């Protein structure tokens, strides 16, 4: 009698990749194609959050049947959407990835290896480059609560070090321990779409957690316009996100809103005035 064929058990998931997309079908297709070529693909979960796109983004899972597509009823903003993604994720590590970023085959496994080897580090990012390999990092200093209306100050990393501490990496490509996101009670939904990344950086600082850049680990950033550029509600969300951050960390939330409201009033943007003073967010709800 022949021996029964033993079917090997699937390997446990190691990383859940979460992409939030809004009318970014072309970029998302490129990002997913790269992800499918990743080393250790069988241990990588790919979750796409479609923010009610109208350009075909929501149907892209027909081209990539191995991904999980979560179709949101409307644009919920990054805080709510990413919380849905993180709660759906099955792996202990989550990689927040922009559709504008193309990972290299070893990007994900190298970041995961780095975190596994350093329990004191709670998040890690690759060095973002352009298509020619020129470094284009999106690393910033955490802003003072009194300076949220000023442009963000950039942080220049030491690329000669195998890893270096960074304050505030963008969410373009950032791997985070899911346990830490849960410990901070997930992303603060008093924010809408903007300033969620700054809030995460501040939470990591307050918890004395380390965030590291691994310069030898690369991913390609294909610069593109924010798909929400020109959207008045998104602009209001950005202002109210800054006000929320200021109010939470010792600045004046009311002052930020009032300054923006007076500016809008001067240009007869009455809808923006009411949206700013009312703390309106991209998802249609009100900030605190």
CATH code for position 185:
3.90.550.10
Model confidence at 65: pLDDT above 90? yes
Model confidence at 285: pLDDT above 90? no
Give the tens place of pLDDT for each residue, 242-276. Answer: 889 998 998 788 677 777 667 766 675 766 766 76
140 plus 21 within the same structural domain:
yes
Please report the pLDDT score of residue 62 as a whole number.
96
Place of tokens 């899972």: 61
When pLDDT is cut at 50, 70 and 90, the band that residue 28 belongs to is very high
Q: What is the pTM of this model?
A: 0.92
Is residue 8 a part of any domain in this protein? no
How many domains would you assign to the chain?
A: 2
149 plus 217 within the same structural domain:
yes
Is residue 287 a part of any domain in this protein? no
216 plus 267 within the same structural domain:
no
Give the tens place of pLDDT for each residue, 177-188. Answer: 999 999 999 999
When pLDDT is cut at 50, 70 and 90, the band that residue 119 belongs to is very high
262 plus 201 within the same structural domain:
no
Which residue(s) pair with 16 in the sheet?
45, 94
The answer to whether residues 16 and 93 touch, using CB atoms and an 8 Å cutoff, is yes
Model confidence at 9: pLDDT above 70? no
At 192, phi and psi to the nearest 5?
-95, -95
Model confidence at 39: pLDDT above 60? yes
156 plus 236 within the same structural domain:
no
Please report the pLDDT score of residue 16 as a whole number.
98
Is residue 217 a part of any domain in this protein? yes
What mean pLDDT comes out for the span 91-101?
98
Cα 248 from Cα 148, distance rounded (Å): 12
Cα 123 from Cα 129, distance rounded (Å): 19
Torsion of CA 58, 60, 14, 174, to 10 degrees: -70
The answer to whether residues 211 and 121 touch, using CB atoms and an 8 Å cutoff, is yes
Please report the pLDDT score of residue 265 as a whole number.
61
* Averaged pLDDT score across all residues of the chain: 91
Cα 20 from Cα 116, distance rounded (Å): 25
User: What distances in angstroms separate CA 235 from CA 143, 163, 229, 270, one per listed residue?
Assistant: 19, 35, 8, 14
197 plus 252 within the same structural domain:
no
Q: Which domain holds residue 266?
A: 232-277
Is residue 47 a part of any domain in this protein? yes
90 plus 131 within the same structural domain:
yes
Is residue 26 a part of any domain in this protein? yes
Length of the chain equals 288
Q: What percent of the chain has pLDDT over 90?
A: 73
Single out the residue of 232, 225, 245 nearest to residue 280, CA to CA: 232
Give the tens place of pLDDT for each residue, 197-237. Answer: 999 999 999 999 999 999 999 999 999 999 999 888 888 88
124 plus 259 within the same structural domain:
no
């Amino acid at each position: 009698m022949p021996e029964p064929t033993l079917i090997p058990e699937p390997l446990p998931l190691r990383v859940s990749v979460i992409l939030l997309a809004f009318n970014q079908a072309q970029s998302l297709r490129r990002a997913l194609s790269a992800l499918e070529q990743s080393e250790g693909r069988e241990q990588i979960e790919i979750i796409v959050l479609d923010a009610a796109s109208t350009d075909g983004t929501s149907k892209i899972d027909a081209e990539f049947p191995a991904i999980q597509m979560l179709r949101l009823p409307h644009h919920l903003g990054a805080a709510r959407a990413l919380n849905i993604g993180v709660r759906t994720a099955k792996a202990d590590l989550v990689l927040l990835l922009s559709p504008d970023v193309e990972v290299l085959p070893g990007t994900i496994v190298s970041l995961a290896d780095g975190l596994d080897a350093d329990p004191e580090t709670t998040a890690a990012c690759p060095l973002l480059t352009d298509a020619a390999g020129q470094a284009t990092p999106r690393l910033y200093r955490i802003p003072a609560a009194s300076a949220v209306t000023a442009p963000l100050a950039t942080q220049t990393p030491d690329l000669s070090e195998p890893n270096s501490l960074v304050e505030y990496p963008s969410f373009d490509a950032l791997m985070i321990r899911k346990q830490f996101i849960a410990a901070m009670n997930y992303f603060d939904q008093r924010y809408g779409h903007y300033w969620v990344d700054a809030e995460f950086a501040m939470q990591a600082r307050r918890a004395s957690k380390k965030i590291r850049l691994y310069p030898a680990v690369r991913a390609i950033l294909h610069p593109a316009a924010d798909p929400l550029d020109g959207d008045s509600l998104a602009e209001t969300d950005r202002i109210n996100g800054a006000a929320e951050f200021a109010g939470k960390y010792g600045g004046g939330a009311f002052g930020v809103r009032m300054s923006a409201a007076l500016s809008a009033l001067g240009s007869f943007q009455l809808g923006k005035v009411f949206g700013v003073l009312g703390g309106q967010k991209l998802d249609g709800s009100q900030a605190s």
